[in-house]
Amino acid sequence: MIILGIESSCDETGVALYDLDKGLLGHRLHSQIQMHERYGGVVPELASRDHIRRVIPLTEELLAATGIDRSQISAVAFTQGPGLSGALLVGAATATGIAHALNIPLIPIHHMEGHLLSPLLDAEKPNFPFVSLLVSGGHTQLLQVDAIGQYTLLGDTVDDAAGEAFDKSAKLMGLSYPGGPAIAKLALEGKPGRYKLPRPKLHSADLDFSFSGLKTAVLTTIKRDVVMPTDYPDLAAEVQAAIVDVLSAKCLKALEQTGFKTLVVAGGVSANLALREKLLGGAKKLGARVFFPPLALCSDNGAMIAFAAALRVQDAMQKGLDWRTTVAQSALAGFDVKPRWAMNQL
C-alpha cells in the first residue's frame, strides 16, 4: 500500500511516497527560505501562493522519479494543522482534489505528530514508550509517548518556542532567517560564557519552558555591553548554550520522572549539533538512549507526513480496524484545516 504525503504548514512544500512494505520510496522538498529571507521571517500570503505554485509540479516530479503511477496510490495524507491557515489550505485542497480524482481516502495528519514519529524512519528506531522533545519554530513540548496516538503532555513553553528564541536572537544580531542554523554556524567561531544570558526555568520543578526573556536579555546585552558585530560569535555561542542547557536539563528531568530510558528529539531545532551532543552525553549518564530524525528530515518535509499516516494505518490494521473509517476520511466529505491544534486532542 502506497501513501502520498503532502506538507504545506509553513514555508516548505514537501511531498513524499511511503510504501507500507518497502518504506520511503522518495520525497521532494521546496524551501521558501530565500523568498522570505528579505522580510526577516515568513510572510503568510507569499507562503500560500508559493505552495500553490510548487505542490503539483513537485508531486509530478516525485512520481516520475520513483516510477510510481498515480493509480498505485492508496491514500493521500496531508498536514491538517497546526500552521498558517492559508498555507494549510493549499495542502488540504490539493490532497482532497487528488483523493477525489483517484477515488481514494484522505488522511489528515497533525504536523507535530509527523515530527514526533520521524525518528522511527531510521533503520535503528526507538521502541515505545519514550519521552519526546518536540522543538521547532512554534513548539517546545515534552511528551510521554506510550504508543501511536497515545501522547501525554509533560511540559510546554509558557511563551516563546526554542526555535523562536533562536530566530529572534538572530534577528537582533542581524543574522539571516531562519536564525537557528545562522546562530549555530556563528557559534562555532565563538565561546559561551563571555556574555552571561539567563537559563529560564532551569531549576524549576516542572517540565515547562520559557524563552521569551532570552531575546530581551540578548538586546540588553548588546546595548549594555556595547557588543560589536565582531563579538557576535561569542554572543551566538552563549545564546545557543543557554537554549541547549535548558532543553537538555528538562529532557533529563523528564527521563528521571518517567523512569523511561529512551528520549526522542524532533522538530527543526533537533538539527542543532550542540543540542545533540549535550543530550547524548547527559542521557548516557542516565543509561538512556537518544534518537533524532535523519538530519535531512529535521525540518518540515512530506516524508514525515506520509510516514505518520502509514504508522496510523498499520496500527489500525494491527488492531483489526478498518483504516478507511478510523484513520482516513472520504474526500467527498470535503476538508478543513486546524491552524491551532493541541496534540493531546488527537
Residues forming contacts to ligand KG4 in the complex (CB under 6 A) are: 10, 136-138, 163, 166-167, 178-181, 184, 267-269, 271-272, 299-300
Applying the rule CB under 5 A, the residues between 261 and 300 that interact with Zn ion are 300
Please, which residue, 66 or 272, has the CB nearer to ligand KG4?
Answer: 272
Applying the rule CB under 5 A, the residues between 121 and 150 that interact with Zn ion are 136
Please, which residue, 163 or 233, has the CB nearer to ligand KG4?
Answer: 163
Phi and psi at residue 201, in whole multiples of 5°? 65, 20
User: E-assigned strands of the chain?
Assistant: 2-7, 12-19, 23-31, 73-81, 106-110, 130-135, 140-147, 150-156, 262-266, 289-291
Helices 179-187 and 162-172 sit at what angle, rounded to 10 degrees?
70
Residue showing cell 487528488 = 98
Phi and psi at residue 320, in whole multiples of 5°? 75, 20
Phi and psi at residue 290, in whole multiples of 5°? -120, 135
Size of the site for Zn ion (CB under 5 A): 2
**42 close to 10: Cβ distance less than 8 angstroms:** yes
227 binds, among ligand KG4, Zn ion, none (CB under 5 to 8 A by kind): none
Please, which residue, 160 or 300, has the CB nearer to Zn ion?
Answer: 300
User: How far from the centroid of its chain's Cα atoms is residue 153's Cα?
Assistant: 16
CA pair distance 153, 156, nearest whole angstrom: 7
* DSSP 3-state percent helix, strand, coil across the chain (nearest 5): 50, 20, 30
CA pair distance 177, 180, nearest whole angstrom: 8
Please, which residue, 115 or 201, has the CB nearer to Zn ion?
Answer: 115
Please, which residue, 8 or 136, has the CB nearer to Zn ion?
Answer: 136
Please, which residue, 28 or 253, has the CB nearer to Zn ion?
Answer: 28
**83 close to 111: Cβ distance less than 8 angstroms:** yes
Instruction: Kindly state the smallest distance separating residue 267's Cβ from ligand KG4, in Å.
Output: 4
Instruction: Kindly state the smallest distance separating residue 142's Cβ from Zn ion, in Å.
Output: 17
Instruction: Kindly state the smallest distance separating residue 92's Cβ from ligand KG4, in Å.
Output: 17
Instruction: Kindly state the smallest distance separating residue 167's Cβ from ligand KG4, in Å.
Output: 5
- Taking CB under 5 A as the rule, does residue 113 contact Zn ion? no
**The one-letter amino acid at 137:** G
Instruction: Kindly state the smallest distance separating residue 79's Cβ from Zn ion, in Å.
Output: 9
180 binds, among ligand KG4, Zn ion, none (CB under 5 to 8 A by kind): ligand KG4
C-alpha cell at 188: 562555532
Instruction: Kindly state the smallest distance separating residue 229's Cβ from Zn ion, in Å.
Output: 30
Instruction: Kindly state the smallest distance separating residue 300's Cβ from ligand KG4, in Å.
Output: 4
138 binds, among ligand KG4, Zn ion, none (CB under 5 to 8 A by kind): ligand KG4
CA pair distance 340, 337, nearest whole angstrom: 9
5 binds, among ligand KG4, Zn ion, none (CB under 5 to 8 A by kind): none
Please, which residue, 73 or 243, has the CB nearer to ligand KG4?
Answer: 243
181 binds, among ligand KG4, Zn ion, none (CB under 5 to 8 A by kind): ligand KG4
**276 close to 152: Cβ distance less than 8 angstroms:** no
Instruction: Kindly state the smallest distance separating residue 70's Cβ from ligand KG4, in Å.
Output: 28
13-52 mask for Zn ion (x: CB under 5 A)?
----------------------------------------
Please, which residue, 217 or 331, has the CB nearer to ligand KG4?
Answer: 217
Instruction: Kindly state the smallest distance separating residue 95's Cβ from Zn ion, in Å.
Output: 18
DSSP 273-316: HHHHHHHHHHHHHTT-EEE---GGGSSS-SHHHHHHHHHHHHHH
86 binds, among ligand KG4, Zn ion, none (CB under 5 to 8 A by kind): none
Residue showing cell 493541541 = 342
**Which residues are at the interface with Zn ion (CB under 5 A)?**
136, 300
